[in-house]
Amino acid sequence: MRITPVATQRLAVGFMWILTGITFAVLVFILVFILVHGLPHVTWTFLTQSPRSMGREGGIFPMILGTFLVSGLAVLVAAPIGVATAVYLSEYTREGRLTSVIRFGADCLAGVPSIIFGLFGFVFFAITLGMGLSVLSGSLTLALMVLPTIIRTSEEAIRSVPNSYREVSLGLGGTRWQTVFYVVLRSALPGISTGIVLSLGRSISETAAVMLTAGSALRLPRSLFDSSRTLALHFYLLSREGISMPNAYATASVLIIAILALNLLAYAVMRRFAVKATR
């Protein structure tokens, strides 16, 4: 029996839909699995207390603070530097071999496993520079890790800005910096913010590099030079060592919700900027 093209189509498309269904089922399963086991344990006290007995009891407040400090500082350091570099590369230099090499290098570094950055950070920041296992070491390492991504994303966004914008600005008598600052960056802001938010998400999820550089202390970090544990690392240690499964699930829930919220925020910000550009 010959299968007609239409029948083939139905079969094939049906199969694809099944694949799609499986994919989403897996995603939903992961989320539901974690949240169902974890949300019941996420109470206000859980979020505001310190852990006791290696995390078996108590809460995760130091980890929340630690995550905030390490990731926040990393992006805060990397974002201005990355955007400035991207601006310089796309607006102030001539297109040529050097910029292609730099671009390729940034792409490669963006793909390098985070563990290598962790190794580097451990040897360079923690030992050689003497910062020890600390929030500072951790965030500087993460900053280096997300820097290539921010540079590339910003550069792409900047280059997507149509030349007509630049020319109009210059035609009105703007200087190069004014053009860049008020016109180009303004138009590229959605893309740049996406890159930054992406990097923030990546640094929040980062575990291996953080373990090596920021350490895994359970106490509340009292300064940037104290070691601190992040949510992802805490979850990893809790679940791996079987210290407390309920707390592990709860930590994971907090982590996932935070990332979800971040994504939604990014999406909302992008919508706002995108809509504005059309006025």
Partner 1 sequence: MKRDKVIGAILLVVALSAISGLALITVFIFREGVPIIFRVGAKQFFLSTDWEPSLGHFGILSMMVGSFMVTIGAAVIGVVFSLGLAIVLTQFSPPGLSAALKPVIELLAGIPSVVYGFVGVVTLVPLIRLSLGGPGLSVLAASIVLGVMILPTITSIAIDALQAVPRSYLEGSIALGATRWQTVTMVLLRAARSGLVAAVILGMGRAIGETMAVIMVAGNALDVPRSVLAPVRTLTSNIALEMGYASGDHRQALFATGVTLFVIITILNTAALAVSRQRTGRRRAK
Partner 2 sequence: MMHEVRAKELGDGEYPLSVADVRDHLVLEEGRELGRALGPARRAQAPAFARESKEELGGAVGTPDAGEAPLEDAAVEVPRDHPVEDAAPEAVTALEEILPDPLDGLEQGLEQRVERGLGRPAGPVDGGIHERETWQPSCRGRDLDASTCGRMSMVGGIPLPFMANVRSVFIHTLAVTLGLVVMCAGCTRTSGRSVSLLGSTSIQPFAEMLAERYAKDFPGQFVEVQGGGSTAGLQAAENGLADIGMCSRSLTAKEALLFIPILIARDGLAIVVNRDNSVAKLSIEQLRAVFAGRVTNWSEVGGKSGPIRPITREEGSGTRESFVRLVMDKERISGRALTQESNGAVKELVKGDPAAIGYMSLGLVGKDLKAVAVEGTQPTALNVLAGRYNLVRPLLFVTKGAVNPAAQKFIDFVLSPVGQSLLVTEGLVRAR
Residue 90 DSSP symbol? I
How many C-beta atoms surround the C-beta of residue 37 within 10 A? 16
Tell me if 114 contacts partner 1 by CB under 8 A: yes
Question: Crossing angle, helix 135-160 and helix 114-121, to 10 degrees?
Answer: 130
Tell me if 277 contacts partner 1 by CB under 8 A: no
C-alpha distances (whole Å) from 268 to each of 11, 63, 143, 186, 197 are: 38, 27, 25, 17, 12
Closest approach, Cβ 29 to partner 2, in A, equals 20
List the interface residues with partner 1, window 208-227 (CB under 8 A). Answer: 208, 212
Tell how far CA 68 is from the center of its chain. 12
Tell me if 3 contacts partner 1 by CB under 8 A: no
**Residue 15 binds what, of partner 2, partner 1, none (CB under 5 to 8 Å, by partner type)?**
partner 1
The residue within the footprint of partner 1, chosen from 60, 183, 218, 255 (CB under 8 A), is: 255
List the interface residues with partner 2, window 29-58 (CB under 8 A). Answer: 52-54
**Residue 46 binds what, of partner 1, partner 2, none (CB under 5 to 8 Å, by partner type)?**
none
The residue within the footprint of partner 2, chosen from 132, 208, 258, 259 (CB under 8 A), is: 132
List the interface residues with partner 2, window 184-223 (CB under 8 A). Answer: 185-195, 198, 215-219, 222-223
- The H or E element that residue 268 is part of is helix 245-276
Tell me if 265 contacts partner 1 by CB under 8 A: no
Size of site (CB under 8 A) for partner 2: 88
Burial class of residue 97 in the structure, from the number of CB atoms within 10 Å of its CB (0-12 exposed, 13-18 middle, 19+ buried): exposed
Tell me if 45 contacts partner 1 by CB under 8 A: no
Tell me if 277 contacts partner 2 by CB under 8 A: yes
List the interface residues with partner 2, window 69-108 (CB under 8 A). Answer: 69, 72-73, 76, 79-80, 94-96, 103, 107
Evaluate whether 239 touches 181 at the Cβ level (below 8 Å): no
Tell me if 262 contacts partner 1 by CB under 8 A: yes
Select from 260, 137, 125 the least CA-distant residue to 204.
260
Tell me if 240 contacts partner 2 by CB under 8 A: yes
Task: Count each helix (H run) and each strand (E run) in the chain, helices first.
Answer: 12, 2
Nearer to partner 2, 2 or 94 (CB): 94
CA atoms within 13 A on the CB side of 8: 5
Closest approach, Cβ 217 to partner 2, in A, equals 4
Residue type, 229: R
Closest approach, Cβ 191 to partner 1, in A, equals 14
Tell me if 160 contacts partner 2 by CB under 8 A: yes
- DSSP per residue, 95-154: -SHHHHHHHHHHHHHHHS-HHHHHHHHIIIIIIIS---SSHHHHHHHHHHHHHHHHHHHH
Closest approach, Cβ 248 to partner 1, in A, equals 8
